């Protein structure tokens, strides 16, 4: 698979600093800026020693190919004058200083809220336009090994000119593939707990709702991952031999293992719900667990 169906990133420069984004939980402490295309972007930084920006770029590409809703991205250059102003602010926050160079930008989306907001808690699934993407979002997080999907890094976007109609928007993928300082070994033996996902995923009970997205991942080959890695600015990447190892590791990941994981989780979720709703069922399982534990103690 190639990148022909993916929206290509723009190469832009910062035209105006607007403000730091104070409410975000992101470690990079991003800024809202206006670029030379006269559009606003959320600009994320890094200290040159981790892989968060490369992770962001790669995950955006994977999400696009899967047909998931993510912001438009750009590679944004920032010059010395603007860097100085940003660093004054970051110094007051005891954050690392940045240097002039290229950083990761996402197109600013107005009228958005995190999943912690009261608006989201009151939403009905029928008001979320892309609710059917949720199985894909879950499959996506498993594949990229995202252990950082918090309520702060999924946005709910109120669509313009469509009152009380919303969509999910995925953001913030800097800590995937084992973390911000990944290597090939961190990608092995990954365990993912779906109970940490905050979407309305319990509405999806059929394997077919996840299978289509798994198949899209299975179509991603070495050519696709190499093209994405080649597109990432050199300042964000590891050494060439490490990039090649990463391409090989990504292309060898077996997406077919995702469905059995989901089936196991659905069984566990069903049992958990039954235990919560039916006291006698919980008492029965507790008795069985107690007997098993006592038998295990006797056997040892």
For 28-67, what is each residue's pLDDT tens digit?
Answer: 689 999 999 999 999 998 866 667 888 899 999 999 999 9
- Tell me the two tokens of residue 60: 């955006």
For 2-22, what is each residue's pLDDT tens digit?
Answer: 455 556 678 899 999 999 987
Contact status, residue 113 vs residue 119, Cβ threshold 8 Å: yes
Instruction: Provide the percentage of residues in the chain whose pLDDT is more than 70.
Output: 68
pLDDT computed for residue 39 by the predictor: 96
Contact status, residue 198 vs residue 126, Cβ threshold 8 Å: no
Contact status, residue 133 vs residue 67, Cβ threshold 8 Å: yes
The pTM of this model reads 0.81
- Tell me the two tokens of residue 231: 């597109």
For 124-153, what is each residue's pLDDT tens digit?
Answer: 888 989 988 988 988 898 888 876 776 677
CA–CA gap between residue 25 and residue 293 (Å, rounded): 42
CA–CA gap between residue 300 and residue 287 (Å, rounded): 20
Alpha-carbon separation of residue 13 from 16, 28, 35, 38, 40 (angstroms): 9, 19, 6, 10, 11
């Amino acid at each position: 698979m190639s990148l022909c169906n993916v929206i290509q990133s723009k190469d832009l420069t910062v035209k105006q600093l607007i403000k730091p984004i104070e409410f975000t939980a992101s470690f990079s402490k991003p800024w809202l800026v206006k670029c030379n295309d006269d559009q606003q972007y959320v600009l994320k930084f890094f200290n040159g020693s981790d892989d968060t920006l490369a992770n962001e770029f790669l995950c955006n590409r994977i999400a696009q190919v899967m047909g998931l809703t993510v912001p438009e991205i750009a590679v944004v250059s920032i010059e010395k004058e603007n860097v100085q102003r940003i660093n004054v602010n970051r110094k007051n926050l005891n954050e690392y200083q940045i240097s002039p160079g290229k950083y990761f930008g996402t197109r600013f989306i107005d009228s958005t809220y995190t999943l912690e907001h009261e608006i989201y808690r009151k939403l009905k699934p029928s008001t979320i336009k892309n609710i059917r993407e949720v199985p894909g979002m879950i499959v996506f997080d498993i594949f990229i090994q995202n252990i950082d999907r918090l309520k702060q890094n999924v946005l709910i976007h109120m669509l313009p000119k469509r009152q009380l109609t919303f969509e999910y928007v995925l953001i913030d993928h800097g800590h995937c593939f084992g973390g911000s300082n990944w290597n090939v070994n961190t990608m092995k033996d990954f365990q993912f707990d779906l109970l940490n996902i905050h979407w309305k995923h319990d509405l999806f009970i059929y394997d077919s709702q996840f299978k289509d997205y798994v198949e899209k991942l299975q179509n991603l080959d070495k050519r696709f991952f190499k093209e994405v890695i080649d597109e990432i600015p050199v300042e964000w990447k590891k050494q060439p031999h490490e990039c090649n190892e990463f391409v090989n590791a990504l292309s060898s990941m077996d997406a077919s293992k995702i469905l059995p994981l989901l089936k196991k989780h659905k069984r566990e979720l069903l049992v958990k719900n039954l235990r919560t709703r039916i006291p006698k069922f919980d008492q029965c399982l507790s008795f069985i667990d107690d007997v098993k534990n006592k038998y295990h103690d006797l056997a040892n």
